[in-house]
Structure 1
Amino acid sequence: MSLFPRDIVSAAEAIIRDFTAAGLMISTAESCTGGLISSALTEISGSSAVVDRGFVTYTNTAKIELLGVQEATLIRFGAVSEETARQMAHGALFRSRADIAVAVTGIAGPGGGSAEKPVGLVHLAAKSRTGALIHRKMLYGDIGRSEVRLATIRTALDIVRSLFSGR
């Protein structure tokens, strides 16, 4: 039995299998998911060969101190932005031994949203050491905190697989 729905487990299994075969490692930088992406990956036996580390950077200070996100970026664009997600992915990649990093920042709700940044808005970015980068802006809607977080895990694992396939 797993902590996660079957589709998430299957996606994580595929990443662990593919990364193991390729000799690659991954790191995560998570805000709104609070470590759940790393948890989904480490749910899989053999993940220690693939998962280097995970950064849970819920506050702006943590994003700055642990990932090197620029304070000016947070002031200008906010924590929930494409720019912040990209810098989080970059920081997770270059502050680890990973070949690919994935980062997520968003508003899971039920509060915290605004007209410009509604509940359910999540920015995701994945970056590889080759310089390839994928960004996705997702508007999951106000579907509930747990559902936003699960949807974010699914999207994060999907963009990791996309980046892996395109390398």
Structure 2
Amino acid sequence: MNKRNVVLLIFLLIGSISGYAQKRLIFQNDQLDESVEIKEGDYVKFRYKGYLNQEAEVESYVLEVTDAAVTFNPGGKKSEFRDDRTILLSDVTGFRKMYKLRPILAPITSLGVGIGIYYAIGTNDQFNNTEQLLYSLGATLGTSLLIKWVFKTDIKLKMSDGWYIRVVGGPY
């Protein structure tokens, strides 16, 4: 085995060990006897005290959890002026854990319904192309509103209601 393969093997071993030792956030409410676990890769929405103590929100995938902060994937293209968003745990005022595929599933469902209705109406000779397009756009808009109602994103759990944060896991 050459030196390069040994170094690669060491990096893979360290990476696999650190994967098992990832930290998790446990939001706990003793009064309700409930807890919510958030780990790296989960899709969440946080409300927090931003710069100058104004309320701010972030909705994204969790990149990293540390003892004092959570780092989110900012999404979109990275540039030299844009960095990952890091929020201190002490600034969190509310949270909501959401389905991981929500950012992909919601628009695809809406678009699929619109295209499906366009082609379903297209087989009927009763409507011209403009009417088909308008009906499919209406169905897409209605589906989008229904998806927003079904896949709600509003903050439902607030720290002021007795929730607190524990960080668990990490290197042993």
Q: TM-score, normalised by structure 2?
A: 0.22
- Structure with bigger RCO (C-alpha 8 Å, 6+ apart): 2
Q: Which has the higher helix share?
A: 1
Query: Based on CA coordinates, which of the two structures has the bigger radius of gyration?
Result: 2
